[in-house]
């Protein structure tokens, strides 16, 4: 070879060796380590910078790195040990703030290179986030600072939160914004909460001026706003007027502002309300399905990570097991639907739910597959992971890989998702910083979990990865690892998380192959992170160093800096990238009208991306518009797959003016594009384009009434509205079902061809109903009739006249009683009961040969949720149709879903539930008699004790009602075959002792009684008595008279007649024997046509006459009372049906004696009446129907045409356009609005009723306005009154004589005195002839029920001084410490836990996880009983959580924002 060639060859060989050596040297990442004494309380990067902060909360020091963790320096200018909290400015990456325990704090404007001090008047408040920032980058200096000011008064230290503001980032002195606040926040504090409100709008949760003293009542907490830093203040009424009290928290979540309020209404039992706005102008109450097992309660709901399209709330449904239900809202956050049940939570309220970053609508959640075992038996949770691809509309198990990391088949069949799916650890058990599963690296998801039926312990898990946003998965390593993404996903780093390790694993090809890097030392990994957008090739590994590896002078913890930038020398070009679509399934590709795709590096491309600090760009590819891109327009409601009008459409005044019958207008199609939907109408459906409509479908001019007539082929057999809904169901006698979703304006037949026997409304859940066919098939709805679903029961509906379905407060729990073996001539025809706990998906056998099976639990009968009661025959053989009394009907109680059976009674006639009472009619065959048994707990029963001659063993009885802590019972006293009447008896508060209330009350042959209580006014009732019992027993003709009670049956009086009739004429009967008598319950064809309505307090209507006795119905007239029956006026001649609308603003009458073509209506409660003709032909009207709440101005007349009584007619009448003026209610300025304060005692001398003076708000009689959905104000109890004679009734075995005094019944003995004492009683009293009406709250005054006084034995027998000495002194010091900490720590104010702390605060074991036990105790018992140990624990727990506020390595992302206030709205009530 020539020398020149040899030289060239040598040079090329040398160059190749150098390149090879260079490449070989570049195969390993660079590494360095920095040592620290303690784990960080916070470890985070400044956004889009290489600068990170390490906050040592133990020593109070802050360390800064400017090179992604390679070198660290303590923050210069900040004294050692001073740092309490560190916050980066979320909208300006130059700034950060260090807060101390004092009033001097520190700011950096160069990302931590230098720090300068600033001063504020008060130390920071004990809240996780005392700073609030403005989202406008030009207003970076607008910051709110929440401080705490304390003053010492004697032994008590009182602390108050004060909020200050700065507009220059604390460069100048701060100014006071507002005192006594619990939270203040800029309305512009989230990039996604976009609105056109004033740029300086601020919301504050504070206390009104009426709240004074050191502590505040929750009822004084309100939401205030200001646009001039509270130089002027506005009260945010949230659309509910001055009633917007009890505000406990404020948060801005994605595009929503959310306010949480405590429901202060009586009986709310800790219920909460959420109000939501998307524009700061209109607030709306968030409406949740009425599933009471998942209702909003204080400290029992979590606002989880939400998208810009919907709000997601997880509600605690099981207290014992921390199990919830996930609800997802519509686009404006006001209407929620159940998305996923049995979600996994922990005691702190964190929920196993996380969205996959950047992929619209994809989220992963964990559910509990054995919720009942967790709740009932305390068993460990069995967790299953689920994924949604459509924003929570549906969920499916995570599909398991078919092979493991070694290429072997997994141990189960992945096609069987029930027993073989993938399950991952999630938010409640985090092991790393930031998000659990995903990062901004598009489509990459990693988790630690297992394959099988359920999630196994963490130490038995492996590591899995998906590169298609969770659709498919691969096992990438054995054992559990922590993980992090770098270089936009082209580098993925794993570190063993089960024990000490000396290496890290990494992949450059999306997990196809893995390489190992030896750290040169054994460490225990504690965290792994990188820059917040996952675009860097450098990582920080937080480790704990083993004692063997630790060198003198070095800290026990370290940050290992790993730099992978040298592994690849070539930067990726265009050919190295591909379009990656966010969904691989065609049917789920489009969400909100677009397909999403990212530009992602190919898996086998040997290059680095290098787009540091550049977010991945999501590309939207519009899809053709389809049905799911549209929602119902305003004034339209969903009915199946159609949007139908909720009423007549309002149109401009210049439209439909010619009066021509064929005139049309362009109106709404009923549809609108969902907000944010970007679908292409040009290539798809145009469902929102206006359509031509006849003017008859438009709302008329103000002052006019409209009507529509609908003919039906058969008689109406059953009808009922969904509560709080405009949807009604009607069943005809031809076994068809019809539905109207707009109060009868339009109708739709449901499932033509089906033979429906009956329909049921779920008695505990307003939006569930069931259509029962004559086969096992039935149809159900869970959303108020918007959609119906087909299901199959275990048997056909029973033919034994038992209820087919039984319900309980848990809306998924049903009992079905059906026929079994009843085909043909079967000899074992019987009724069989089965139950379901999942709304019909699975059924379990209860018992056969039953007459009735029902859940024992009820809304007020709060006993075991699993208890089932069955009336079951003793001998279970033969045909049940042939059974008689020889086969005893037993009452069986079954706990644990009938798994633990107990016989309660050998022979019963039946049982029923009334309010808090369970009442059983026991049959005693040896005496051929009945006994009444009463229970308050479903297990122990007490026999009812009755006055002499009134025991049920010789008389039939009817249980009437029990709304006022006592049972009213009608005991038939007349003998068959004479007409029926009897006595009404009233029980004591536990339903065991019955005393006589009124004699000779009328009943009919079916057991119905002329007795009715007024709605909305407890304790006022009407009854009709038989005035001639002796004569009626002979002639069979009853003379009826009406009596009224205003003290819950204690005394009864005749009705005072009006002075003149409706024509101004005097009545012919004018003596003292004359009274008003009205027709009662026994004459009604519709039991729902009550005298009164809870929406129109005090207003009563009836048909009757003035005379000595009640006249025939057709000879009667129509009367009205506005004061609860004290006084009456005749409003119209003849008998009429009536109905209340719009809370009494409209009252409708229709003739009930003959066919008619018109109705009468009044808008001033009977002062004047107007006539409206609804038909040219006369119709016979049988009923007037409106929504059950009586709040609508739309009515339906149900009747028939006289010439065809076999068919039916429903007339829809709409009074909406009578007036458009909305009524005004000014709670703080009564008398200057459209409402009046009214008391039932206005028309009588006594100002008190039931021992209290009560005032009610109701519309003024002459106010011509619409009440509508105006929030009702609860009655106002002015004061409790001194007891009077009206507050007492006769004790058991006593009866009133002619003088009105209670005397002992001859031959009877008084009850023994009850010497038992309640814990707060100092004395007990001997019984007398009187007892206090249970519902009365009178105090002191006249007390005929108290006999001789005796001192209670035991603790109460000692003096006050004795107990002050014994009880309080030993713990006085503890009390002082506890009270100081309670006031200082912020327990007495609303606090909001952040999503950044959802995982981070729990990172190091349990130190950052508040158990809540001590805190719960503190909230529920007097502070001085807590004890020093509990206080110390709670303080440490709270401090660690607040200080270890989280290692938030990733920011709030653009596509799936995680806002600072998005996790938990939590409030500890300080009301004592």
What would the DSSP string read from start to end of 1360-1390? HHHHIIIIIGGGHHHHHHHHHHHHHHTTTSE
pLDDT band at residue 737 using 50, 70 and 90 as cut-offs: very high
Say if CB 783 and CB 765 are below 8 A apart: no
| Residue 1425: Cβ-neighbour burial (10 angstroms; 0-12, 13-18, 19+) | middle
* pLDDT score of 420 more than 60: yes
Say if CB 425 and CB 448 are below 8 A apart: yes
Give percent of the chain above pLDDT 90: 45
Residues 6+ apart with CB under 8 A from 344: 322, 323, 324, 351, 352, 365, 366, 367, 368, 381, 383, 426, 428
Say if CB 1057 and CB 1106 are below 8 A apart: yes
Residues 6+ apart with CB under 8 A from 325: 291, 293, 294, 314, 315, 317, 338, 340, 341, 342, 343
Tokens 């003035």, located at residue: 1106
Plot region of 358 (φ>0 → left; ψ -120 to 50 → alpha; else → beta):
left
Mean pLDDT of 1165-1172: 91
Q: Lowest mean pLDDT: which of 318-327, 460-469, 799-808, 1139-1148?
A: 318-327
Residue 1270 per-residue DSSP state: P
- What is the value of pTM for the model shown? 0.70
* pLDDT score of 306 more than 80: no
- Report, in this order, helix, strand and coil percent for the chain, each rounded to 5: 10, 40, 50
- pLDDT for residue 302: 84
Residue 210 per-residue DSSP state: T
Residue 398 per-residue DSSP state: B
Give the H/E segment covering residue 1416. Answer: helix 1413-1420
10 versus 746: which is more confidently predicted? 746
Looking only at the bridges linking them, the beta strands covering 301-303 and 256-262 are unpaired
CA 1129 to chain centre: 44
Over residues 1052-1068, the pLDDT tens digits come to 999 999 999 999 999 99
- pLDDT for residue 1331: 86
Residue 352 per-residue DSSP state: S
Spatial separation of the C-alpha atoms in residues 1276 and 208, rounded to whole Å: 19
Degrees (nearest 5) of the Cα angle 1236, 1239, 1245?
A: 135
- pLDDT for residue 1107: 95
215 versus 1455: which is more confidently predicted? 215
- pLDDT for residue 1318: 67
Give percent of the chain above pLDDT 70: 86
240 versus 583: which is more confidently predicted? 240
Plot region of 60 (φ>0 → left; ψ -120 to 50 → alpha; else → beta):
left
Over residues 1274-1330, the pLDDT tens digits come to 666 677 889 988 888 888 788 888 787 888 888 888 888 877 776 567 888 999 999
> DSSP letters along 1452-1471, please?
--SSS---TT-SEEEE----
Say if CB 1412 and CB 1438 are below 8 A apart: no
Query: 1016: closest CA among 1304, 743, 1249, 737?
Result: 1249
pLDDT band at residue 810 using 50, 70 and 90 as cut-offs: confident
Buried b (16+ CB within 10 A) or exposed e, 524-544: bbbbbbbbbbbbbbbbbbbbe
Whether omega for the bond prior to residue 977 falls within 30 degrees of 0, making it cis, is yes
- pLDDT for residue 588: 59
- pLDDT for residue 710: 95
- pLDDT for residue 930: 80
- pLDDT for residue 108: 96
Spatial separation of the C-alpha atoms in residues 503 and 521, rounded to whole Å: 8
Spatial separation of the C-alpha atoms in residues 1056 and 1129, rounded to whole Å: 10
* pLDDT score of 455 more than 90: yes
Helix/strand/coil for 124: strand
* pLDDT score of 594 more than 90: no
**3-state secondary structure string, 854-913?**
EECCCCCCCCCCCCEEEEEECCCCCCHHHCCCCCCEEEEEEHHHHCEEEEEECCEEEEEE
Say if CB 115 and CB 108 are below 8 A apart: yes
Spatial separation of the C-alpha atoms in residues 600 and 616, rounded to whole Å: 9
| Residue 330: Cβ-neighbour burial (10 angstroms; 0-12, 13-18, 19+) | middle
- pLDDT for residue 15: 46
> DSSP letters along 76-116, please?
TTS-TT---EEEE-SS-TT-EEEE-SSSEEEEESSTTS--E
Hey, how many other C-beta atoms are within 10 angstroms of the C-beta on 805? Answer: 21
Say if CB 1434 and CB 1411 are below 8 A apart: no
Tokens 């379990």, located at residue: 844
Over residues 61-73, the pLDDT tens digits come to 999 999 999 999 9
* pLDDT score of 1359 more than 70: no
Residue 21 per-residue DSSP state: H
Hey, how many other C-beta atoms are within 10 angstroms of the C-beta on 1313? Answer: 14
pLDDT band at residue 1226 using 50, 70 and 90 as cut-offs: confident
Spatial separation of the C-alpha atoms in residues 1240 and 1249, rounded to whole Å: 7
Average pLDDT taken over every residue of the chain:
83
- pLDDT for residue 762: 92
Query: 817: closest CA among 828, 802, 838?
Result: 802
Hey, how many other C-beta atoms are within 10 angstroms of the C-beta on 737? Answer: 23
Q: Lowest mean pLDDT: which of 265-279, 899-913, 1047-1061?
A: 265-279
Q: From residue 708, how far is each of 642, 1136, 1210 by CA, in Å?
A: 21, 21, 8
* pLDDT score of 904 more than 90: yes
| Rounded-to-10 torsion of CA 66, 72, 73, 75 | 60
């Amino acid at each position: 070879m020539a020398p020149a060639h040899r030289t060239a060859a040598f040079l090329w060989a040398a160059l190749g060796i150098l390149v090879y050596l260079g490449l070989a040297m570049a195969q390993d990442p660079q590494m360095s380590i920095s040592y620290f004494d303690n784990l960080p309380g916070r470890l985070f990067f400044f956004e889009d910078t290489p600068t990170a902060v390490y906050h040592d909360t133990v020593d109070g020091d802050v360390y800064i790195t400017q090179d992604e963790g390679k070198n660290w320096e303590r923050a210069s200018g900040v004294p050692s040990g001073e740092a309490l909290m560190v916050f980066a400015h979320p909208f300006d990456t130059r700034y950060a703030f260090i807060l101390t325990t004092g009033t001097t704090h520190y700011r950096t404007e160069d990302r931590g290179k230098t720090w300068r001090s600033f001063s504020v008047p008060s130390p920071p408040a004990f809240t996780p986030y005392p700073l609030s920032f403005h989202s406008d980058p030009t207003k970076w200096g607008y910051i709110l600072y929440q401080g705490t000011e304390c003053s010492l008064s004697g032994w008590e230290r009182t602390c108050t939160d004060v909020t200050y503001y700065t507009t220059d980032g604390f460069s100048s002195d701060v100014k006071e914004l507002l005192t006594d606040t619990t939270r203040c926040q800029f309305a512009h504090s989230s990039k996604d909460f976009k609105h056109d409100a004033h740029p300086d709008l601020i919301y504050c949760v504070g206390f009104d001026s009426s709240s004074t003293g050191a502590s505040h009542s929750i009822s004084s907490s309100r939401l205030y706003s200001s646009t001039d830093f509270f130089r002027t203040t506005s009260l945010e009424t949230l659309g509910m007027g001055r009633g917007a009290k009890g505000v406990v928290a404020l948060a801005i979540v994605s595009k929503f502002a959310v306010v949480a309020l405590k429901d202060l209404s009586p009986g709310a039992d800790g219920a909460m309300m959420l109000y939501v706005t998307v524009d700061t102008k209109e607030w709306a109450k968030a409406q949740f399905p009425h599933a009471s097992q998942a209702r909003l309660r204080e400290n029992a709901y979590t606002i989880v990570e939400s998208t810009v399209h919907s709000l997601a709330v997880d509600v605690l449904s099981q207290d014992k097991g921390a199990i919830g239900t996930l609800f997802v809202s519509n686009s404006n956050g006001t209407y929620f639907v159940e998305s996923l049940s049995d979600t996994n939570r922990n005691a702190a309220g964190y929920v196993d739910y996380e969205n996959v970053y950047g992929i619209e609508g994809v989220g992963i959640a964990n559910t509990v597959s054995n919720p009942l075992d967790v709740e009932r038996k305390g068993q460990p949770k069995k967790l299953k992971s689920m994924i949604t691809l459509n924003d929570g509309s549906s969920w499916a198990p995570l599909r398991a890989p078919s092979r493991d990391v070694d290429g072997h088949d997994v141990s189960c069949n992945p096609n069987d998702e029930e027993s073989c799916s993938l399950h991952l650890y999630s938010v409640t058990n985090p092991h790393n910083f930031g998000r659990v599963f995903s990062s901004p690296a598009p489509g990459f998801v990693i988790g630690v979990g297992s394959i099988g039926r359920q999630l196994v312990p963490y130490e038995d898990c492996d590591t899995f990865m998906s590169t298609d946003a969770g659709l498919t998965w691969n096992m990438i390593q054995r054992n559990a690892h922590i993980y992090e993404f770098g270089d936009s996903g082209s580098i993925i780093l794993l570190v063993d998380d089960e024990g000490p390790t000396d290496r890290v694993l990494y992949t450059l090809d999306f997990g196809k192959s893995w390489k190992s890097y030896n750290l040169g030392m054994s460490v225990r990994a504690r965290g792994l992170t990188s820059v917040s957008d996952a675009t860097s090739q450098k990582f920080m590994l937080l480790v704990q160093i083993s004692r063997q590896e630790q060198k003198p002078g070095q800290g026990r913890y370290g940050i290992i800096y790993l730099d992978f930038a040298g592994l690849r020398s070539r930067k990726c070009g265009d050919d190295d990238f591909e379009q990656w679509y966010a969904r691989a399934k065609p049917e789920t590709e489009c969400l909100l009208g677009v397909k999403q795709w990212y530009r992602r590096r190919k898996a086998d491309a040997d290059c680095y991306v290098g787009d540091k600090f550049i977010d991945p760009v999501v590309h939207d590819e519009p899809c053709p518009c389809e049905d799911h891109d549209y929602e119902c327009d305003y004034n339209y409601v969903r009915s199946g797959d159609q949007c139908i009008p909720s009423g007549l459409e309002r149109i401009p005044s210049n439209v439909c003016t010619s009066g021509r019958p064929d005139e049309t207008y362009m109106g709404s199609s009923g549809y609108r594009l969902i907000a944010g939907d970007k679908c292409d109408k040009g290539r798809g459906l145009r469902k929102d384009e206006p359509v031509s409509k006849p003017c008859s479908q438009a709302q008329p001019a103000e002052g006019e009434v409209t009507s529509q007539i609908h003919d039906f082929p058969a008689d109406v057999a059953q009808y009922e509205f969904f509560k709080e809904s405009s949807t009604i169901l009607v069943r005809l006698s031809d076994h068809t079902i019809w539905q109207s979703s707009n109060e009868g304006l339009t109708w739709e037949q449901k499932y033509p061809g089906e033979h429906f026997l009956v329909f049921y409304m779920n008695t505990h859940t307003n939006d569930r109903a069931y259509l029962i066919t004559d086969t096992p098939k039935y149809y159900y709805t869970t959303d108020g009739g918007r959609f119906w679903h087909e299901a199959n029961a275990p048997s056909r509906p029973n033919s034994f006249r038992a209820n087919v379905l039984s319900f309980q407060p848990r809306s998924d729990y049903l009992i079905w009683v059906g026929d079994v073996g009843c085909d043909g001539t079967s000899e074992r025809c019987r009724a069989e009961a089965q139950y379901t706990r999942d709304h019909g998906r699975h059924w379990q056998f209860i018992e056969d040969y039953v007459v009735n099976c029902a859940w024992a639990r009820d809304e007020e009968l709060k006993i075991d949720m699993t208890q089932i009661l069955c009336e079951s025959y003793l001998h279970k053989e033969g045909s049940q149709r042939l059974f008689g009394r020889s086969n005893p009907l037993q009452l069986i109680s079954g706990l644990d879903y009938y798994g633990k059976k107990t016989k309660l009674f050998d022979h019963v006639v039946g049982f029923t539930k009334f309010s808090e009472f369970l009442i059983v009619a026991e049959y005693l065959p040896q005496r051929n008699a009945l006994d009444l048994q009463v229970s308050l707990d479903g297990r122990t029963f007490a026999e009812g004790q009755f006055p002499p001659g009134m025991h049920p063993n010789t008389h039939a009885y009817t249980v009437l009602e029990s709304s006022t802590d006592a049972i009213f019972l009608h005991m038939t006293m007349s003998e068959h075959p004479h007409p029926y009447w009897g006595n009404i008896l009233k029980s004591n508060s536990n339903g065991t002792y019955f005393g006589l209330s009124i004699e000779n009350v009328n009943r009919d042959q079916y057991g119905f009684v002329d007795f009715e209580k007024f709605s909305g006014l407890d304790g006022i009732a009407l009854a009709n008595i038989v005035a001639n019992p002796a004569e009626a027993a002979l002639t069979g003709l009853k003379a009826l008279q009406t009596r009224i009670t205003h003290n819950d049956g204690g005394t009864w009086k005749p009705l005072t007649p009006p002075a003149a009739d409706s024509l101004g004429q005097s009545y012919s009967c004018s003596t003292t024997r004359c009274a008003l008598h009205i027709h009662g319950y026994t004459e009604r064809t519709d039991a729902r046509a009550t005298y009164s309505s809870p929406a129109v307090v005090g207003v009563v209507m009836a048909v009757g006459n003035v005379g000595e006795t009640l006249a025939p119905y057709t000879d009667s007239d129509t009367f009205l009372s506005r004061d609860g029956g004290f006084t009456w006026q005749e409003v119209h001649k003849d008998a009429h049906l009536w109905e209340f609308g719009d809370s009494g603003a409209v009252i409708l009458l229709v003739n009930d004696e003959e066919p008619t073509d018109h109705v009468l209506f009044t808008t001033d409660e009977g002062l004047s009446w107007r006539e409206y003709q609804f038909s040219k032909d006369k119709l016979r009207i049988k009923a007037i129907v409106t929504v059950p709440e009586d709040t609508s101005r739309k009515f339906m007349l149900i009747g028939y045409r006289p010439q065809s009584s076999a068919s039916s007619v429903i007339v829809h009448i709409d009074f909406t356009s009578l007036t458009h003026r909305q009524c005004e209610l000014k709670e703080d300025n009564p008398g200057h609005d459209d409402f009046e304060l009214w008391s039932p005692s206005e028309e009588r001398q006594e100002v008190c009723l039931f021992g209290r003076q009560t005032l009610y708000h109701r519309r003024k009689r002459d106010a011509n306005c619409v009440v509508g959905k105006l929030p009702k104000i609860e009655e106002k109890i002015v004061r409790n009154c001194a007891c009077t004679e009206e507050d007492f009734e006769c004790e058991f075995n006593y009866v009133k004589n002619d003088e009105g005094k209670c005397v002992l019944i001859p031959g009877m003995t008084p009850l023994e005195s009850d010497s038992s004492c309640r814990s707060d009683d100092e004395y007990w009293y001997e019984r007398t002839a009187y007892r206090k009406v249970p519902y009365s709250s009178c105090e002191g005054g006249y007390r005929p029920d108290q006999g001789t006084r005796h001192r209670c034995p035991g603790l109460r027998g000692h003096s006050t001084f004795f107990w002050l000495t014994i009880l309080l002194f030993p713990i006085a010091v503890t009390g002082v410490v506890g009270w100081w900490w309670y006031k200082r720590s912020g327990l007495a104010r609303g606090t909001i836990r952040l999503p950044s702390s959802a995982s981070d605060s729990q990172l190091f074991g349990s130190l950052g996880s508040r158990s809540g036990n001590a805190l719960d105790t503190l909230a529920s018992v007097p502070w001085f009983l807590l004890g020093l140990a509990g206080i110390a624990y709670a303080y440490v727990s709270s401090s660690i959580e607040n200080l270890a506020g989280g290692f938030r390595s990733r920011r709030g992302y653009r596509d799936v924002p995680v806002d600072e206030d998005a996790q938990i709205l939590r409030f500890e009530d300080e009301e004592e």
